[in-house]
Amino acid sequence: MSSRRDELCDVAITLIARVGLRGLTHRAVDREAGVPEGSTSYYFRTRNALLAAVTRRMAAIDAQARRPAGGTDPEALADLATALVLDLTGPGRERTLARYELSMEAARQPDLREALHAAGAGMRRAARDLLAAAGAAEPERQGPDLVAFLDGLVYDQLAGAGGPRTPTALRASIREVLRGMLGR
């Protein structure tokens, strides 16, 4: 069961994805959620509190949505990573757009930067653990590199100058990087 806080954060994610951070106000969330004016500010006293809560909510949704399964050979990892990129640019597109908006804001706000870093730590840890299980030589270094590479692919799929790649092309690029990281 979802809490009122989660519901308001979900509405805020949708607003951020649709109109950017400039359009995110407590009142805009109230209107979009169909709740009495002042409801959002009751739960999140400041805009920064709302942004931090949105960041935590996105991390919680991502953690629930991504339960890696399958092998740790390069082919299975390529399948998993390709599915992740397709999820983040398809069904999870709103969260991804909101995450990028928040990332740019975090460059100017240390508190938000810390919240985003903590939210992304789970993804970096998962990448490190998968690479370690697959026999990577330096999973501590390579895990964050893999996440950065995948994030670049996601960004390119959404807004890149190269245009979107087909799932087959995405998988081929991911497989090449994984083979290099795993020395295979």
61-103 pLDDT, tens digit per residue, is: 887 765 556 677 889 999 999 999 999 999 999 999 999 999 9
**Tokens read off for 23:** 């359009």
pLDDT at position 120: 87
Average of per-residue pLDDT across 108-123 = 87
Question: What's the CA gap between 51 and 110, in Å, rounded?
Answer: 12
The CATH number covering residue 128 comes to 1.10.357.10
Helix and strand totals (H; E) in the chain: 9, 0
Question: What is the Cβ-side half-sphere exposure of residue 47, based on CA atoms within 13 angstroms?
Answer: 11
Average of per-residue pLDDT across 24-41 = 97
Question: What's the CA gap between 1 and 3, in Å, rounded?
Answer: 7
Contact 50, 24 (CB under 8 A): yes
Q: For the chain, what is the domain count?
A: 1
pLDDT at position 102: 94
pLDDT at position 118: 85
The SS3 call for residue 162 is coil
Nearest CA to 84 among 101, 99, 72, 67? 67
Residues 6+ apart with CB under 8 A from 162: 156
Cα–Cα–Cα angle for 90, 118, 176, nearest 5°?
50
pLDDT at position 67: 55
pLDDT at position 6: 96
- Ranked by mean pLDDT, which of 3-12, 66-75, 104-113, 159-168 comes out on top? 3-12
- Give the domain extent around 136: 4-182
Question: What's the CA gap between 142 and 68, in Å, rounded?
Answer: 18
pLDDT at position 115: 84
Contact 128, 142 (CB under 8 A): yes
Nearest CA to 91 among 64, 52, 122? 64
Question: What's the CA gap between 72 and 141, in Å, rounded?
Answer: 18
Contact 110, 171 (CB under 8 A): no
